[in-house]
Amino acid sequence: MKVVIAEPISDAGRSLLARAGTAVVVDTPEKLRAEIGDADALIVRSATKVDEALIEAAPNLKVVGRAGIGIDNIDIEAATRAGVLVVNAPQANTVSAAEHTMALMLAQARNIPAADASMRARRWERSRFQGVELRGKTLGILGLGRIGTLVARRAAAFGMQVIAYDPYVLAEKVAHLGVALEPLGEVLARSDWISIHLPRTPDTEGLLGAEELAATKRGVRIVNTSRGGIVDEEALVEAIRSGQVAGAALDVYGEEPLTDSPLLDLPQVVLTPHLGASTREAQDRAGSDVAEAVLAALRGDLVTSAINVDVDAELPEEVQRFLPLAERLGTMLVRLVGGLPSRMTIQVEGRLAPYPVRPLRLAALKGALSVATDRAVSYVNAAALADERGIAITETSVDESPAYVSLLRLVGDGDRRVEVAGTINRGVPVVTGIYDYTLELPLAPSMLVVRNVDEPGMIGRVGTYLGAQGVNIFDMVLGRSRSVPGTALMVLSIDRSLTVAELDDVRELRGVDEAFAIDLDL
């Protein structure tokens, strides 16, 4: 595996990548273009633009990793169309950003930058720098995600009352924080301080403009360590000059670097050059977190923190255990159907039943499509590719599973109707049913499924042929049909894949109705 690192990441991250494969460090756009052609993964920070052209220049690309939380420099739509996973390090800088928020609040409240500059100019101006306390003030947080939550906890420790605006958070989920969720207008009207912790999206861009700033409590102070462009900087300058806003502390800006702005001339404003994640600890975590996510993506794992995969970030352990099985059952289904089914049903039973089926559906589609199309298939584009091919998907859940704690069942309808089922037994993926045959056999890299006449000598006939070809059988299971008398099924685990000619020979053996070779990525 070739991983191209376009911008510096921590030693810990580079070591993880080096142990897993080839890591190539580039330091110019020219070197990036030269190396990206056969790259499996690309890791960037904020300076490298990962646009459609760059993605198209890397046909083997499976994952783009952003060593940080922002993804503004990555074309998510282009990556998704290409089946390229986009991962980042969403938790690497949360503590650092929350601490920087508090540092900016305190610096603004106590005039620390101006007082420091005065002292360095050999002046003693104690009366000039009277500040305000945080204790007893109301902090309005816009965006109660990971960083906003950490800020809320730290502000409470300073004796602040915390209210928040976040339309995507349920009140009961933040009740333990002692934070009251309020409409945006209420937060603006009541807050002595407003701290912004939102992504920059079409919905949040310009969220605090002239009208909103005019609706704030007079003398409010604004802090922004999230993304530039959420606060209208021109409107903020005017609000500070008028006294509506007492001051601001900013780490991010609409255009960076900030070198020419009226903000630079306002003594009421504390400015830092996008330092929210600039701690040694955050940089180390960002490098190692993104390296781990990239390696997981290269293994074919479902990375729940991926930007362009629609699954919950907190995946139940029971669902995680069944993801590899779902993918392999999807592959088996397509081989047995003889192509992609027109309809697929994903049924979960037993302990799996209460959990979302979507992750397992994505895994099953990934396994099915990977052997039925020459396009790169991942968790990113599996659903879209299924839609393109007109596969109708049905999900069902059954609370009881008579024989197993949890069971996953796939049914495919195409030229024929095929059912496969499986479970996890002591950590091992096991196929428990094919067609209407009940069986139990651990999955193996190479398997042979034979449906035959139920008569003596069939096992010997198939075994003798395989032995003559030097194919070793190391496990097998037999079953009789419940619905078609006189037919039986044998499923064999063998030590190598069969050639097309060898499979045709098996099909020509007397008594064999059909035979399928199934190769699984195990």
Q: Apex CA 4: angle with CA 277 and CA 305, to 5°?
A: 50
The position carrying tokens 């630079």 is 264
Distances (CA, A) of 331 to 360, 371, 444, 519: 13, 7, 13, 8
In the three-class reduction of DSSP (H, G, I as helix; E, B as strand; rest coil), residue 114 is classed as helix
From the candidates 77, 133, 256, 508, give the one annotated as an active-site residue: 256
Tokens of 427: 């950590």
From the candidates 14, 221, 274, 335, give the one annotated as an active-site residue: 274
From the candidates 45, 66, 227, 285, give the one annotated as an active-site residue: 227
Tokens of 405: 């704690």
Residue 163, burial from CB neighbour count under 10 angstroms (0-12, 13-18, 19+): middle
Q: H-type helices in 243-357, by residue range?
A: 280-298, 317-337
Strand partners, 161: 138
DSSP letters, 110-139, are TTHHHHHHHHHTT---GGGG----STTPEE
Q: In whole angstroms, give the CA distance from residue 118 to residue 129.
A: 10
The position carrying tokens 């960002």 is 286
Q: Closest Cα to residue 143, out of 216, 212, 226? A: 226
Q: Apex CA 405: angle with CA 400 and CA 411, to 5°?
A: 65
Strand partners, 449: 491, 516
Tokens of 458: 């069939």
Provide the residue type at 316 as one letter: P
The pairing of beta strand 473-480 with beta strand 446-453: unpaired
DSSP letters, 15-52, are HHHHHHSEEEE--SHHHHHHHGGG-SEEEE-SSS-B-H
- Backbone dihedral angles phi then psi of residue 134, each to the nearest 5 degrees: -85, -35
* Helix (H) / strand (E) containing 413: strand 406-413
Q: Catalytic residue at 227?
A: yes
Q: Catalytic residue at 197?
A: no
Active-site residue set: 227, 256, 274
